[in-house]
Structure 1
């Protein structure tokens, strides 16, 4: 029987050509040197009659069968590699999309005007986010704090992520001239940064029930006339029309430009602590996407009035709105230090200016972070951040097992210490993504990484070495 080649003898073997060969055809490979393997396809051999109504196929034997098998196996391996590559590409694409979505949330939240007692716009954003996800529950307590949890995830010892929704800003009190308003500054900024600094006044949008309207646009421009005295200063708007539209309760924020991501950094008006809020919802979303039966009980507590003394957090503690068995992880953006720079990863915060936090929680968070570093090299830091105090101190004082994770922050509270002026705050986007992953992993693995594991290890050491004490 004649042979009909589908590939000329001078053509090099192509695995894609091999995979395209009909299954019914016999494939053999001729290996002339120095050419690469060539392919010849044979028609099925003739069948001869052995007995009436009984046919048997006797394939022609050839010395090239082993080479044919090798070539087919190579084609199969190539096909599997292509399939695996497509699967990997799909995973990378999905991962990339999730990162971009989280960055979108990050930019949107850190650009929202907010102040202590005037967190309504942030609350609106959170309600909208939760309302678009059927398995996310949101409740507002009597103090205005927001509580988020997933359907079906209930335990006595949940992991609770805490982040505050306010940022240092002015709140208008009363008109004191054609363009001037008396304003209360709520937050901590050094007095040398106020005089002449630009502001924007944002009308409405502060109520938690949505009864007031949010004004469109970026806000009316103005400036601060001098440092506040006893927390109260005077701001001046640039035109009469804007001054007449302003009202008591409106918020005036520093005019430092819109939130944006540039060169791997988030640059925004209110990174502290709306980047923490963004990380909290991103971690909850990561858990939400997991299998329903295996989701850990991760909850969020988004608090009010942190910048004036942890007021929302204290209220939640005193009213026992967080289960007593909860493991609390406070999220913050802390002033970067020479040994805790921006870009070196999220920080497992040992303590703040006021206190140190629960050693077991700190150990567990450090163990999870170390595991992620071993898996894929994700960087992290473990530091005592003394640039300020945070809500972890309040939860610790009221008896909760509390740890803290923070991002190193440039221009803390909008104070650019190098230039001596008000400026946008900034964090590393890579640090932000690292924080999200650390929080999601901690929610799932905090029990196995906790201090009980450390206690077991110490007991083993004691058991094996106690004879040295005799």
Structure 2
């Protein structure tokens, strides 16, 4: 059932959903974000790697600042060979094993942004135990698959996306279904939050960062972190989707992410999320969850590797990377979760410039001199 898009963030997300966004082919996404954000921030620019950086300047110097980070790409394929109408498709990112199944429907995006339907003709046989194990976990293990095409264009170096619906809303269950919720949900949240706080005086700097090629190894985030363009004292907050795991509920609110598959994050950065969330919990329209989301990695780990203090937010994600029930399907997230994430990003931004004790600092001050600990010095 179709649902009218009542909130601005849903308009943004539905617009982004219409844009193909395989890794390395993010330009149209970044153009949309740039166009819709340039009048609401003090500065917006591309770094040398094509990452998009928006900057709302704070009113004070040397105070806590935040960078909210999401990625613009989604897994898919790229045409790397075209021989007598036989196409060789390179896998970009982790995709469902059913994406390589014979007759699976795909779409080539040509130079005129037209969508050309193709179907998978075959994939090479699995030849080793590593590939076999990956397929048993539900992932396509092949680096390339093949398709046939009857078309008069010499199609090469074009992106290929899944032939799925771009965007629709399940009104009964309050869910958004889309081809690439990961991570256009994060992009839409950061874009809308920066627009919403644009006319507010905030003490510390706030950045919105939209990275490239995350799905093929966090490449854009690694390049940006290594460059040092973002000041090292900035608190990095990844805004992602993450596969639903035990202990996480779809519709239970945005997740404060304590870590990912690669690393655990920093309580010195997470304290701002916790303080902001606790300010919002009295609102009946706000809930949050807290969990180490270990199914995949995210940009926070890329920045952590280069010395930044990091934390994360995540939206519980169904059909992660389009891995549906024995077929390729749209991903889905909760509208409630999306709205709580937007509220939390805005609330955290308002805390820029403010200092809070970390959890470890609280533990020291609350317990080290307690009378109960002093009892331990007594004899048995």
Give your verdict on TM over 0.5. Answer: yes
Give 1:101 deviation, angstroms.
1.4
1:163-201, Cα deviation, whole Å (9 max, x unpaired): 1111001111221233x3212110112434421221111
Partners of 2:58 and 2:204 within 8 A in 1: no
Match of 1:185?
91
Residues 1:352 and 2:248 are matched in the alignment = no
**What is the deviation of 1:136?**
4.3
Partner of 1:343: 251
1:235 aligned residue: 147
Residue 453 (structure 1) shift = 7.5
The residue correspondences of 1:373-388 to structure 2 (distance < 5 A) are: 373-376=281-284, 378-388=286-296
Distance 1:255 1:295, change over 3 A: farther
Deviation at 1:153, TM superposition (A): 5.4
Q: Deviations over 1:215-267 (max 9, x none)?
A: 35xx1111122346752221334xx3xx3236322111001112122212111
Give distance in 2, aligned partners of 1:224 and 1:153: 55
Shift of 1:337: 1.5
Structure 1 residue 111: Cα displacement: 2.8
Which runs of 5 or more structure 1 residues have no equivalent in the other structure?
A: 1-96, 205-213
Instruction: Tell me the equivalent position of 1:223.
Output: 119
How far apart are residue 338 of structure 1 and its match?
A: 3.2
Q: Match for 2:331 among 422, 425, 429?
A: 425
Deviation at 1:446, TM superposition (A): 5.7
Larger RCO, structures 1/2 (Cα 8 Å, 6+ apart): 2
Give the aligned partner of residue 305 of structure 1: 213
**Displacement of 1:107 after TM fit?**
1.1
State the aligned residue count.
353
Which residue is equivalent to 2:228? 320
Deviation at 1:339, TM superposition (A): 1.9
Could you tell me which residue of structure 2 aligns to residue 105 of structure 1?
12
Question: Residue in 1 aligned with 2:135?
Answer: none
Aligned match of 1:413: 321
Gaps in structure 2 of 5+ consecutive residues: 125-140
For 1:397 and 1:342, locate their aligned partners in 2 and report how far apart those are by CA, in whole Å: 30
1:445 aligns to what? 351
Counterpart secondary structure, 2:164 = coil
Partner in structure 1 of residue 74 of structure 2: 167
SS in 1 for 2:239: strand
The alpha carbon displacement at 1:380 in A equals 0.9
User: Aligned equivalents of 2:226 and 2:235: distance in 1?
Assistant: 17
User: Are residues 282 and 246 of structure 1, via their aligned partners in 2, closer, same or farther at CA, if it must alter by over 3 Å?
Assistant: farther
| C-alpha contact 2:212 2:221 (8 A) present in aligned 1 | yes
Q: Which moved more, 1:322-331 or 1:107-116?
A: 107-116
Instruction: Report 1:267-278 matches (<5 A).
Output: 267-278=177-188
Larger helix proportion of the pair: 1
Residues 113, 374 of structure 1: CA spacing in aligned structure 2 closer, same or farther, 3 A cutoff?
A: same
Q: Are residues 442 and 192 of structure 1, via their aligned partners in 2, closer, same or farther at CA, if it must alter by over 3 Å?
A: same
Distance 1:339 1:111, change over 3 A: farther
After superposition, what is the alpha-carbon deviation per residue over 1:143-162, rounded to whole angstroms, capped at 9, x for unaligned?
11111012565745420011
Structure-2 change in CA distance of 1:232 and 1:281 (3 Å): same
**TM-score scaled by structure 2?**
0.85
Q: How big is each residue's C-alpha offset from its partner over 1:316-372, in whole Å with a ceiling of 9 and x where there is no partner?
A: 111111111000001111001232121111100111122211122223312322321
Other structure's SS at 2:7 match: helix
d(CA) in 2 for partners of 1:273, 1:464? 46
Contact 2:76 / 2:93 at 8 angstroms: preserved in 1? yes
Structure 1 pair 453/168, CA: closer, same or farther in 2 (3 Å)? closer
Taking structure 1 as the reference length, the TM-score comes to: 0.70
Superposition pairs of residues 20-59 of structure 1, within 5 angstroms: none
Q: Once superposed, what is the RMSD of the aligned Cα atoms?
A: 2.4
